Structure 1
Amino acid sequence: MSAAQWRRATADDAVALRDLERVASQVGLAHVFGELPYPDDDVLARWVLLLDDPEVSVEVVEDGQGLVALAAHDGSTLRHLAVRPDHWSAGLGREGFLRAEAAGARRLWVLEANARARRLYESLGWAPSGVTQECPWPPHPTEVEYAAP
């Protein structure tokens, strides 16, 4: 596991959270979203709301270039997990996941086509619950609920 220093995100991190999520999505999910424009304003608005929600914990790791990893969770759900592509395979995704799980997360939603994330969750014992839903962002791919063992 990494020796990363996690800290609680603040309202000042909203744009950086959106930017980290964007770069991770554009690299890791290009096969899903293709050339569609990234919903910058909607994603930023979501981060502002999450950062203002006292029931949601948003934790981040940063380096000299900005945010490297994020994990957002509440008492029952891992809401968001992302790692900047230049730090993939360094253990930060696993570490963020385990932090959320230790804080009580027992479910999450992941794109059905996000094989990288699904491999991580399954390697940690989580499995699809059988429940699916439509992603809110075009082209509205399927999301799969995962649950803790």
Structure 2
Amino acid sequence: MFRAATLDDLSALRDLEREANLVGLRHVFPPDRFPFPEDDVLARWALVLDEPGVEVLVRDAGDRRDGGLDLFAAYDDRSLRHLAVHPDQWGTGLATTAIETVLHAMDVRGTTIAELWCLEENHRARRLYEYLGWRPVEGERRPAPWPPHPTEMRYTRLIPQSDR
């Protein structure tokens, strides 16, 4: 279902992030005031793909004409760093499957507590995370790196140990 992203996926990673943000975060980053930072996001993805210990899972979009991606999930030993699902796939369980895959990979690496940062105003994502057992950490807030620098909040979740 998922494969590891490569440098050949840079544009598709950026494009998926843009599509998801324009639909799901329009109220946080109004495009008329804060255009999507195409070049900066592309540069960030190049750094993420090159960073030791970071894995980026993707799922190719088989049924859309653009040939892009339906999903990306970037993570390291303990952090779910980036997650996006194409709006055409919202509500299909794809995000849940990706999160379970990431948590299993963290478990295999010996992690017992996972973390992520989520925009406070990303209500859709927050509902999903909380439904899946993630809990906000009291007092853990920071400004997001992109203008207008909305607030991000930290979530954690216990990872039940498997037989590894």
* Counterpart for residue 52 of structure 2: 54
Give me the identity figure in percent.
Answer: 54
Identify which of 142, 149, 152 aligns with 1:133: 142
Q: 1:50-129 to 2 correspondence within 5 Å?
A: 50-64=48-62, 65-104=67-106, 106-129=114-137
Residue 18 (str. 1) matches residue 14 (str. 2): yes
User: For 2:80 and 2:24, how far apart are their aligned partners in 1?
Assistant: 19
Q: Tell me the matched-pair count.
A: 145
**Which residue identity lines up with residue 144 of structure 1 in the other structure?**
M
Q: CA RMSD in A?
A: 1.0
User: For 1:37 and 1:122, how far apart are their aligned partners in 2?
Assistant: 29
Aligned partner of residue 28 in structure 2, secondary structure: helix
User: For 1:45 and 1:11, how far apart are their aligned partners in 2?
Assistant: 11
Offset at residue 54 of structure 1 (A): 2.6
- More deviation in 79-88 or 45-54? 45-54
- More deviation in 46-55 or 71-80? 46-55
* Counterpart for residue 2 of structure 2: 6
User: For 1:40 and 1:98, how far apart are their aligned partners in 2?
Assistant: 29
Offset at residue 96 of structure 1 (A): 1.2
User: For 1:68 and 1:24, how far apart are their aligned partners in 2?
Assistant: 10
Offset at residue 22 of structure 1 (A): 0.7
5+ residue gaps, structure 2, are 107-112, 159-164
Runs of 4+ in 1 over 3 A off after TM superposition: none
* Counterpart for residue 30 of structure 2: 34
